[in-house]
Amino acid sequence: MSAQRKEKNPTGTWPVVPYTEVEKTEAMQEKPFLIYDDEEGYMVYVPKERENAIGVSWENGSEGEKIPIDQFYVAKPEKDTAETMNQALEEGKNLLLTPGIYDLEEPIAVNRPDTIVLGMGLATLRAAKGNVCLETGNVQGLILAGLLFDAGEIKSDNLLVIGNEGQKSEDNGKNIYLSDLFFHVGGTDTDTPVSVKCCATINSNHVVGDNFWVWRADHGDNVAWEKNEAENGIIINGDDVTMYALMVEHFEQYQTVWNGDHGKVYMYQSEIPYDVPNQEVWMSHEGQKNGYASFYVDDAVDTFEAWGLGVYLYNRDASVELDTAMEVPDKNGVKVHNICTVMLTGYPGMNHIINESGDSVTFAGERKVICEYENGLIR
């Protein structure tokens, strides 16, 4: 009698794991915060930039810089305009925006390297005349944190622009850090519909984003396909841009457009618009594909990598199909790790996960996963 071969069964949660773990954060600088010292008074504490970081900076003591409050212009919504804040910036001040809504008729313009713009209590910048709310030149070392951007009644091309279009910033060894930035298109207590073409465009190189929520409202006041119109959530044109926790929801075309090289995304969450009225108005690639992928990486991109992505579909208002959740160029160097699609409910469905790969989701609660994708191959 021949010996029987014993097979070893896979253990744990093979082949799909419930969590995506990344060993180290390559580059991170936690956002500044207000502190008080009995001798020095109020100051803004700026944590030190860290490389290959694990955990929070204050776990084993913290290093950083204390900047006296007199180096900041403290803005108040009841008295300040873009003009007063821009004057302070030109005088060499940083900005500290106290809570409230700032109705801006022109952009806040940040053109000095190493400037800090810090919002308290999610200070809200609202476009009043179809303008950008905040824009920067091609300068490095900037820190923008704790701000909410609201679309206005007159359609803006963008609410936030980092760097000049068509001009890549030079590498001077300093990153731009964008932390806790949120964007609303509709859903607030307004009597008039609002709109924007794109909420945020990043043209600069060497940008690190930490915690973005980019939202075309799916509920609230004046919310409908032709009321709170918005094509895209965020467009990345710069090289070496990294995003940690990027959430983009309900935009009428691509949620995220990535045109820059050497980009990285750690955790991406996206819901496709609920209110698509019919398939005819929701076609990409010059009418050749059903729907718009949530995440679009341009064919010219040579290197890109993303970890832990979720794309969710709820066809609430019409029976429509989405061809694929993510479009990427099939090249060595363009990699996606752990992406899932979910059909929440409504009318089906989503046919693929990445390009023409991955199984469809067509009924409520159905979930499909690709663990590793590169150059058209699933591993």
Q: Cα–Cα distance between 161 and 170 in angstroms, integer?
A: 17
**pTM score, whole prediction:** 0.95
Q: Cα–Cα distance between 233 and 200 in angstroms, integer?
A: 7
Q: Cα–Cα distance between 374 and 379 in angstroms, integer?
A: 8
Q: Are strands 367-374 and 334-346 parallel, antiparallel or unpaired?
A: antiparallel
Low-confidence ranges of the chain (pLDDT < 50): 1-2
Q: Cα–Cα distance between 360 and 368 in angstroms, integer?
A: 7
CA 14, 15, 19, 21 dihedral sign is positive
> Is-cis flag, bond preceding 349, omega within 30?
yes
> Is 63 known to be catalytic?
no
Q: Cα–Cα distance between 193 and 172 in angstroms, integer?
A: 43
Determine the pLDDT at residue 106: 98
Determine the pLDDT at residue 171: 67
- Radius of gyration for the chain, computed over Cα atoms and rounded to the nearest angstrom: 22
Active-site entry in 229, 271, 321, 327: 271
The 10s digit of each residue's pLDDT in 109-141 is 999 999 999 999 999 999 999 999 999 999 999
Enumerate the β-bridge partners of residue 232: 198
**SS3 of residue 252 by DSSP:** coil
Amino acid at 38: D
